[in-house]
Amino acid sequence: MEITESVKIIERMMNESKKTLHNYSAYFIIWGMVMAPAGIAEYLLIDYEYRWIVWPIASIIGGVLSAIVGNKQSKKQQASSAMDRVIGYTWGAFGFCLILAIAYAVSIQKPPHTLVLMLAGGATFISGGISKFKPFIYGGLALELAAIACAFFIPGEFHSLIFAVGILLGYIIPGFILRNIENE
């Protein structure tokens, strides 16, 4: 074998291995399409005492749909990269911190939007950085800006609306951009 041929094989295979990515878009789209309407619903139900009910409902729907997609994908999965593992750990840590943040917010009787946006922004930003996918980097920044707005500038009654906008910019739009790329 010629040495130039060796170089070509190494390049081709390295490029092939970079294509070995999970289809992450489905999770962003599912959670975005569940959480953004939940935020809008909470805003519309502002006079209703039990408006918080939208969050457990949305979480259950999102969790069930994600589990179905995850199960299907794991059956089809043929390879795994270090990036898959890092992204998996990032979102695992996010899930744990999310539960903790919501429990803490409930215990101090404060709405959890700011903390949730902050955590989601961090995990989205890291996912974008690791996968070099700019829409997630910008999406993560949009979520952090929404968190800052909720924390310091926007009155509490509008937090669920800001939350919905953050999720639209951070999850839904980048999720659909990624899905188009995955389908190419």
Where does this chain bind another protein (CB under 8 A)?
1, 3-7, 9-10, 12-14, 16-18, 20, 75, 78-82, 84-85
> Minimum Å distance from CB 77 to another protein?
8
End-to-end Cα separation, the chain, in angstroms: 34
> Minimum Å distance from CB 70 to another protein?
16
Nearer to another protein (CB atom), residue 86 or residue 149: 86
Amino acid at 184: E
Nearest to 121 by CA among 65, 169, 83: 169
Amino acid at 33: M
> Minimum Å distance from CB 65 to another protein?
22
Nearer to another protein (CB atom), residue 3 or residue 108: 3
Nearer to another protein (CB atom), residue 68 or residue 106: 68
Q: Say if residues 117 and 163 touch (Cβ distance below 8 Å).
A: yes
Nearer to another protein (CB atom), residue 49 or residue 76: 76
Give the side-chain half-sphere CA count within 13 A for 70.
10
Nearer to another protein (CB atom), residue 4 or residue 183: 4
> Minimum Å distance from CB 101 to another protein?
31
> Minimum Å distance from CB 14 to another protein?
5
Scored b (16 or more CB within 10 A) or e, 100-139 reads ebbeebeeeeebbbbbbbbbbbbbbbbbbeebebebbbbb
DSSP assignment, residue 151?
A: I
